[in-house]
Structure 1
Amino acid sequence: ESKQAAAAQAETARRKIDVESLLASDVQGDDGNDGGNTSTSTLFIKNLNFDTTEATLREVFAPVGQLRKVTIRKKKDPKHPGQFLSMGFGFVEFAGEDTAGRALKSLQGFVVDGHALQLKISSQSSAAGEVSASTMPKASTGTKLIIRNVPFEATRKDIMELFSAYGQLKTVRLPKKYAGGHRGFAFIEFLGQQEAKAAMKHLTNTHLYGRHLVIEPAEDIAD
């Protein structure tokens, strides 16, 4: 146990040094551009190792600036009642937009527990205000997607949490079987075209509960 504790401490120290080195090089190479071009203080993180904890993410992102919240999305462990399993993605909220932009620029691809982090600015907190100010038709072209190969243990909430990182969702439907359970695909609609495009682009190679999601436009779906 003492060896494991020592190894854990060494790994924590290594992460701190690596992050500080990245931040230092970022400052030295700063050309005055904020790099992240953020409009929100929250980052969406995917490709997390299932063993990575929220405490580990705090250690990685804390050197960048003040954190408000770190969340890894989890599901119930069917083999161990009362316990939860990581879904491989999460969110980090900073105290300011500039800090989020710096983290996006400096830590994109940073390796944590053997996995390179994939970071993106989350739109879930800012999309509502942007869309409400526009006049959008009832059926907006390019806002609907169909998600195939959805794992049967996934829920509507899982789909919402994954896709809401890219903007405000208008509808989320997970068609059910007559005998119970869903049919393995889902329909979602964003309030904006750019949000739908971003979701398709960034979630194309995403796995949910071990299954590769297949995402396609779905403009022929009836409301």
Structure 2
Amino acid sequence: MNIYVGNLSWNLKDQDLLNLFSAHGEVSSAKIITDKFTGRSKGFGFVEMPNDDQAQAAIAAMNGTAVDGRNVVVNESRPKPEGGGGGGYKKRSFGGGGGGYRGNRGGGDYNRDGFNNGDF
């Protein structure tokens, strides 16, 4: 079972997380998620425990307990929902453009209707 562990201190390392959960049963892996640019902890991680009963006992025992001065949130990890994700990219058009043929718009003759004020 995959377990989510949140509200972790930024000082904790993968090995610390493994040690915390090993007290409750066999742990196959423990990973604290870090920022890919800075390498700093994001304050949460995941623990994989092969035995579901031990995992449930670890969740019950660890959730809300103080670890390195912070009350951790521990629950069963749920898979990400299908689709979505990433925000995507949408090309936007900002005004202008279009145009097209507008026929004869010329500034033609001012006296186009044939009427000439000078005729009076």
TM-score category, normalised to shorter length: 0.5 to 0.7
Taking every aligned residue pair, what percent have the same amino acid on both sides? 24
Q: TM-score, normalised by structure 2?
A: 0.68
Separation in 2 of the partners of 1:71 and 1:85?
A: 13
Q: Cα RMSD between the aligned structures?
A: 1.7
Separation in 2 of the partners of 1:67 and 1:60?
A: 10
Separation in 1 of the partners of 2:28 and 2:84?
A: 29
- Structure with more of its chain in helix, by fraction: 1
1:102: Cα distance to partner?
0.3
- Work out the number of aligned pairs and report it: 90
Aligned to 1:66: 26
Unaligned 5+ segments in structure 2 are 92-120
- Larger Rg over CA atoms: 2
AA at the equivalent of 1:101: Q
Change (3 A) 1:174 1:116: same
Is 1:111 aligned to residue 63 of structure 2? no
Aligned to 1:123: 78
1:175: Cα distance to partner?
4.7
AA at the equivalent of 2:83: K
Secondary structure in structure 2 of the residue aligned to 1:72: strand
Aligned to 1:173: 86
Unaligned 5+ segments in structure 1 are 1-40, 78-83, 125-163, 179-223
Change (3 A) 1:115 1:177: farther
